[in-house]
Structure 1
Amino acid sequence: MSIWEKSILLILLRRRLEAERTTDWQTLHKRDRGWFLSQGDSNPWAVLRAWLTQWDETHRITATLFVFGLGALALALGFLLVAGLVEFLTFERINLLWFMLIAILLPLCWWLLALFFSSAQVPFPLRALFEHRLPPGTFASSLRPLMKLTVVALGQQLSLLFALGMVLAFLLYLLVTDLAFGWSSTLDISAAVIHQMTTIVSWPWQQLWPAAMPTMELVEQTHYFRAAPVVTEQPELFGQWWRFLLMSLLVYVLFPRLITALFYRYRLEQMQGRVCESDALISGLWQRLSTELIDHEAQPVEQRVRKSDRAITEKLDKSYTQIISWGTWPDEIIGSLRQQLGADLSLIYWRDTDSISAMESTLTELRSLPDEPPLLLCKGWEPPTGELEDYCSELSKMRSHLFLWPVPLKGMSDERRQLLIESWQAFMGQLSDRFHLILNPLSEESRDE
């Protein structure tokens, strides 16, 4: 699977998993674990792609042909650029200044601007073409950085192929034709100025290939005028510029793009790995696929739940001024909770910790707020995780009293709800004594919604 298909796969996975957020975790676990055991491939990317194939999404992930077509186009455009410069002859001589401006200086400036202005690496036509490969509709904001870096890396690869096409065209014309280079300008530019300029340009390879550095004699003998015939004692000097121009194309056009293309490709691979690990929905899918099913009826409840003297609050107080929601929530549930808890008021501090950066920023902000009991909202239809335990540990260092409410899912059976309550009660035994568990159901108003 290509690196571009991996990015599209993650985006499509997120879309599919968004539609299943309100489905009971145990139901999904049984379905996905049973499917995983029937698969023979152990490669994570192949497994995720095969899982998505069940929902008739696989035809959307074939980006190889699309990227190949763009690459072939970029290669051809680079080839045609140099071919046009070489074929556009003036008195059978190629103007050195014109060639360096179009084939070397402009591509170099384009590359530098793309480094300093990241938006220049994500031009609208390229981004629109890439998004056209996806199903209609917007995708999660948490995957926007992945989308941007994917397009940047693709742009760098196309830029590299463009430069490669230029070098290939130059080498081909060098092999099959007798190229004659010279320099001419309407302005009164002396040969010494041209020699100084070419010496500066050729500084990177002066020790590696001294023959590719133009001499003063070469500069003087290849100066020509439109109104005067070429007069030179050594006409073969007109062809000696090829070494200088070839090294200029390699050093200032091809090699910089090769470095940045490899760099952004490496960054994209790293980000794809981080998305698989940090995204709650995608990592949750892999957890369901790779972990064994737990039979809740195999052991009595008394053996699974560790008894604790921890206080349990049955009533939900509406006076919380600091509220934190853990993970990514369905809009209809989080909307009713905000209304029920009065989060629309300006005096209420409410933060959604749906990413690693959001978790870190929330912890930083809480340090500057008064020591008031915060309310931590968790999805009560899912079992608690080790990541939540770590976050609660950080919160307990900043507050003397904290409340944790595993919000139940509307329509959940009493048996399933009781099993989850027991798992949350056992989880509280792993937290600091500063935490208090709330087992209050959703209000009637929220249920009606």
Structure 2
Amino acid sequence: MTPHPLRLLLDFDQRAQRDGEQPPDVLHRRDRRFALDCQQRGVQPTLERWLTHQERLSGPGAAPASQRLLRRWRGITAGFAGAGAVLGIVAMAGLLFYDGSQRINVTVILAFVLLQLALALATTLQAVIGWQPWRWLGRRLRLPDAPPVHARLRPLFMARAAQAGGTAFALSALATLLILVVVEDLAFGWSSTLTLASDRYLALVRALASPWGWLWPQAVPTRELVEGTRFFRAGPGQEATDPALWGQWWPFVTLLWCTWVLLPRLSLLVFSHWLLRWRASGLLARHPARQALLRRMANPTIDSGHDQAGDGLLPEPPAGRSPGPVPASDLAIAWAGAAEPRLPSALARLDGRYYRAGGRASLAEDDAVLAEVGTRLDVAAPPPVLILTRGWEPPTGELQDFLLAARAQWPGSARVVLVPLADPSEPAPGQRWLAPWQRFAERLPTGFATVAVATGDTATVPE
């Protein structure tokens, strides 16, 4: 499980939606068991560990929620980057087109740079405020309807894809500029329909060149360059301009593009990554299901099997088949010391020949028991696995987690039989104590678990 906040949020949100279909008491027992196991191992019950634990219980083949969504957005981002690279080549080739009849206008390049900077800032602004001007594009890309958490992140995803496309645009345009400077004899100049004095134009270009003036003074336009490269639609005196000045604009144009187009795009792309992580961290911290999970892990729970607490009455057993006798199986697991200090006479054959799990056993020991029992079940007709429990105690979330892990690891034909043992002071478990265990078995996967009573007889659990 990766600790990336975005993936953590998406996986947790999907798990929370699944948990919404489960009864609260089942969730409480499961999560309390996880917290106790973490406490036993001396580690913090973090969300990463909790999700890893849930994935292990879900078994192989259950892909995290984030994988599919992030894979789709990576494809969208790559598409934006590819389109941006192609458009960058086309745009710069158009700006620097020179057929010898008229010089390349630096003023047009300045305006285009200003446009690119404005687009980059607008893209970031719409991501910060949550505006979605790309909604129509999402319909074209056939993005599915997203849950609330995904929907709140969609503007950030789109902004990051747009910034990636803008960065690819700037890089490919810069490469095109440098190639054309090398292979062609470009002639630059400046002109405008507005009446601009050379001094004002000089002040403008020097202000734009101030970030790199100390690093490369030769890339800062001089007064001679500005005054000598101004051209008009028609008029005398242009032939007197020194042609050598026409090519001296390229260092300024190159650094202008790098400073005011490429560098902002790169910076805002990094910022969009950070903003997505920061927003995901905030949504995760405020997620209602996270607060509920922390409460379940912190508070103990008891399963009485009764939905109407406070009336002082124990529940009646669920309608249906009564618990049958213990089947003839020598494969048994004693849960949380249930076989101590002694076994009933019906299970005397198992004395000393059963596995121990739960209780003071660690998760690693429980996993070892599951693996070893799984090897014994890998036969054509596996015997049922007896789960010996303390019948006078209610089922716990720890046992449910153990059985769900067994269901995921063992062969599909494996079955378990819950055998609630009687209190040492009683000859047999009372019928009133069996109701919680029958309800517990019903909450497990269909057909996986049944309940039997050690009455002294040995038989096969009915189909």
TM-score by length of 2: 0.51
Helix, strand or coil for the counterpart of 1:205? coil
Task: Give the C-alpha shift of residue 109 in structure 1.
Answer: 2.5
Is structure 2 residue 69 aligned with structure 1 residue 70? no
1:224 to 223, 231, 254: 231
**Alpha carbons 2:11, 2:64 under 8 Å: kept:** no
- When residues 164 and 285 of structure 1 are mapped into structure 2, their CA distance, relative to the original with a 3 A threshold, is farther
CA distances 1:348-392 after superposition (whole Å, capped 9, x unpaired): xxxxxxxxxxxxxxxxxxxxxxxxxxxxxxxxxx99xxxxxxxxx
Helix, strand or coil for the counterpart of 2:147? coil
Task: Give the C-alpha shift of residue 278 in structure 1.
Answer: 4.4
Equivalent in the alignment of 2:182? 175
Task: Give the C-alpha shift of residue 21 in structure 1.
Answer: 0.8
1:205 to 186, 208, 212: 212
Give the counterpart letter for 2:114 in structure 1: L
Mapped to 2, the partners of 1:76 and 1:45 lie a distance apart of: 42
**Alpha carbons 2:77, 2:162 under 8 Å: kept:** no
Task: Give the C-alpha shift of residue 214 in structure 1.
Answer: 0.7
Equivalent in the alignment of 1:255? 263
Give the counterpart letter for 1:199 in structure 2: R
Alignment of 1:123-134 (within 5 A): 123-125=133-135, 128=138, 132-134=142-144
- When residues 21 and 43 of structure 1 are mapped into structure 2, their CA distance, relative to the original with a 3 A threshold, is closer
Equivalent in the alignment of 1:157? 164
Helix, strand or coil for the counterpart of 1:238? helix
Mapped to 2, the partners of 1:265 and 1:275 lie a distance apart of: 16
Mapped to 2, the partners of 1:49 and 1:131 lie a distance apart of: 31
The alignment's C-alpha RMSD in Å is 4.8
Helix, strand or coil for the counterpart of 1:178? coil
Is structure 2 residue 119 aligned with structure 1 residue 110? yes
Helix, strand or coil for the counterpart of 2:19? coil
Task: Give the C-alpha shift of residue 59 in structure 1.
Answer: 5.0
Task: Give the C-alpha shift of residue 139 in structure 1.
Answer: 1.1
Higher relative contact order (CA 8 A, sep 6+): 2
Helix, strand or coil for the counterpart of 2:96? helix
Task: Give the C-alpha shift of residue 121 in structure 1.
Answer: 6.7
Give the counterpart letter for 1:170 in structure 2: L
1:96 to 99, 106, 115: 106
CA distances 1:117-160 after superposition (whole Å, capped 9, x unpaired): 556974224761698344x4x412x5543333333333333332
**Alpha carbons 1:94, 1:182 under 8 Å: kept:** yes
CA distances 1:181-204 after superposition (whole Å, capped 9, x unpaired): 012334443323322221222222
- When residues 196 and 56 of structure 1 are mapped into structure 2, their CA distance, relative to the original with a 3 A threshold, is closer
Equivalent in the alignment of 2:95? 85
- When residues 2 and 105 of structure 1 are mapped into structure 2, their CA distance, relative to the original with a 3 A threshold, is farther
- For structure 2, the residue ranges without an aligned partner over 5 or more in a row are 35-47, 312-395, 398-433, 441-463
**Alpha carbons 1:121, 1:152 under 8 Å: kept:** no
Mapped to 1, the partners of 2:80 and 2:293 lie a distance apart of: 33
Give the counterpart letter for 1:248 in structure 2: L
Task: Give the C-alpha shift of residue 85 in structure 1.
Answer: 1.1
Mapped to 1, the partners of 2:119 and 2:9 lie a distance apart of: 31
- When residues 270 and 116 of structure 1 are mapped into structure 2, their CA distance, relative to the original with a 3 A threshold, is closer
**Alpha carbons 1:75, 1:162 under 8 Å: kept:** yes
Alignment of 1:313-352 (within 5 A): none
- When residues 224 and 233 of structure 1 are mapped into structure 2, their CA distance, relative to the original with a 3 A threshold, is closer
**Alpha carbons 2:220, 2:252 under 8 Å: kept:** yes
Mapped to 2, the partners of 1:164 and 1:48 lie a distance apart of: 44
Mapped to 2, the partners of 1:295 and 1:190 lie a distance apart of: 82
Give the counterpart letter for 1:94 in structure 2: I
- When residues 65 and 112 of structure 1 are mapped into structure 2, their CA distance, relative to the original with a 3 A threshold, is closer
Alignment of 1:265-414 (within 5 A): 265-281=273-289
Equivalent in the alignment of 1:14? 13
Give the counterpart letter for 1:213 in structure 2: V
Mapped to 1, the partners of 2:118 and 2:70 lie a distance apart of: 35
1:246 to 229, 247, 254: 254
Helix, strand or coil for the counterpart of 1:204? coil
Equivalent in the alignment of 1:24? 23
Task: Give the C-alpha shift of residue 238 in structure 1.
Answer: 0.6
Equivalent in the alignment of 1:415? 436
Helix, strand or coil for the counterpart of 1:62? helix
Give the counterpart letter for 1:87 in structure 2: F
Q: Which has the larger radius of gyration?
A: 2
- When residues 59 and 208 of structure 1 are mapped into structure 2, their CA distance, relative to the original with a 3 A threshold, is closer
TM-score by length of 1: 0.52
- When residues 274 and 184 of structure 1 are mapped into structure 2, their CA distance, relative to the original with a 3 A threshold, is closer
- When residues 187 and 49 of structure 1 are mapped into structure 2, their CA distance, relative to the original with a 3 A threshold, is farther
- When residues 181 and 268 of structure 1 are mapped into structure 2, their CA distance, relative to the original with a 3 A threshold, is same
Equivalent in the alignment of 2:243? 235
Mapped to 2, the partners of 1:218 and 1:85 lie a distance apart of: 20
Task: Give the C-alpha shift of residue 179 in structure 1.
Answer: 1.5
Task: Give the C-alpha shift of residue 218 in structure 1.
Answer: 0.8
**Alpha carbons 1:60, 1:133 under 8 Å: kept:** no
1:139 to 137, 142, 147: 147
- When residues 47 and 251 of structure 1 are mapped into structure 2, their CA distance, relative to the original with a 3 A threshold, is farther
**Alpha carbons 1:113, 1:120 under 8 Å: kept:** no
Task: Give the C-alpha shift of residue 241 in structure 1.
Answer: 0.3
